[in-house]
Amino acid sequence: MIFDRSGHRASFTQAGKLILEQGREILSATEKMVNDASVLANGWELEITLAFDGVIPVRNFFGLVNALTDISSTRIKLQEEILAGGWEALNTGRVDLLVCPKMVTVQHDLKVAELGIMEMEWVASSDHLIHKRNCLFDDNTREKYRIIVIADTAREQPAISVNIMQRQPRLTVTNFAAKVEALKAGLGIGTLPKMLADDLIQQGLLRKIEGSETQPVEIILAWKRDKMGEAKAWCIQHLIKNFQRTAIL
């Protein structure tokens, strides 16, 4: 029985409510299926995943998300990866596009486009002992101070290390936000994008390490040559055309 007519007005029974709720779910799933079929018929992927190295602020990609939404129903996923983890995700097909610092060598089946330069600054908390030294900021000096690093997200591929001396003590954290907090707390030294570092320096939370040099890092876009759908091709062109002009590196 779907309706209970024992009162002044008919109302749904428990069975009736179940049918109504499941009917709505079926209708919603049908509409989604029709929409997905339409998207695929026009050559656009249902979903595309863009991975970005954690050192690159995610807000750099918000413009792409809005622009893609205006022209397609393709769903986009932004996925943070660290160092070798991004390349592994791209090579294994877990992501479609990768924005990250350039590597010395790139696999032959990948294509790469330059997007811009990010400047990295050596910093530590305002009261860190490194600011009281009276020696050069060279390899021997760096090795004496704990460095804050972010764990590589690679699952099987060998991890990559950047700016870490062989015998240097380190604190490994799981994401970029945790690295910033650890630096502010005085737990070690490390590099940050210059724009972020300058902001924290102005607030008195960090200080640039005297004698250190700003490190330019080339940011690239990488993708596999095969499986080129409309959304992937559009995202590539959008990033190449707009990243340098709008990126907040």
175 in any annotated domain: yes
pLDDT tens digits for range 132-186: 999 999 999 999 999 999 999 998 888 888 888 888 999 999 999 999 999 999 9
- The CA distance from 249 to 236, in Å, is 18
59 and 129 assigned to the same domain? no
Based on the domain organization, do 139 and 173 belong to the same domain? yes
Query: For residue 229, what are the domain limits?
Result: 47-116+218-246
For residue 82, is it within any domain? yes
Q: Is residue 7 part of a domain?
A: no
For residues 69 and 63, give the distance between their C-alpha atoms in angstroms, rounded to a whole number: 10
Using the predicted structure, report yes or no on whether residue 243 has a pLDDT greater than 60. Answer: yes
Answer yes or no: do 212 and 122 share one domain. yes
- Please return the burial class of 125, using the count of CB atoms within 10 Å of its CB with bins 0-12, 13-18 and 19+: buried
Mean pLDDT of the 9-36 span: 56
Q: Where are the beta strands (DSSP E) in 88-237?
A: 97-101, 110-125, 147-150, 170-173, 190-193, 206-208, 215-224
204 & 166 share domain? yes
Whether residue 24 is found in the same domain as residue 87: no
Task: Tell whether 1 is covered by a domain.
Answer: no
Query: What is the Cα 139 distance to its own chain's centre?
Result: 30
Query: Residue 204: left (phi > 0), alpha (psi -120 to 50), or beta?
Result: left
Residues 6+ apart with CB under 8 A from 23: none
Q: How many domains does the chain have?
A: 3
Could you tell me if 208 and 128 lie in one domain?
Answer: yes
Same domain assignment for residues 74 and 144: no
Over the stretch 73-124, which tens digit does the pLDDT of each residue have?
999 999 999 999 999 999 999 999 999 999 877 777 899 999 999 999 999 9
Backbone angles phi, psi at 61, to 5 degrees: -110, 0
Give the pLDDT confidence score for residue 114 in this predicted structure.
Answer: 92
The reported pLDDT for the residue numbered 188 is 97
The answer to whether residues 145 and 119 touch, using CB atoms and an 8 Å cutoff, is: no
* Whether the predicted pLDDT of 4 surpasses 70: no
**Residues 236, 212 share a domain:** no
235 and 112 fall within a common domain: yes
Q: Is residue 156 part of a domain?
A: yes
Could you tell me if 92 and 210 lie in one domain? no
Report which of 170, 167, 165, 169 is spatially closest to residue 150, judged by C-alpha positions: 170
Domain CATH number, residue 70: 3.40.190.10
Q: Does some domain include residue 75?
A: yes
Asked whether residue 208 is domain-assigned, the answer is yes
Q: Is 152 inside any structural domain?
A: yes
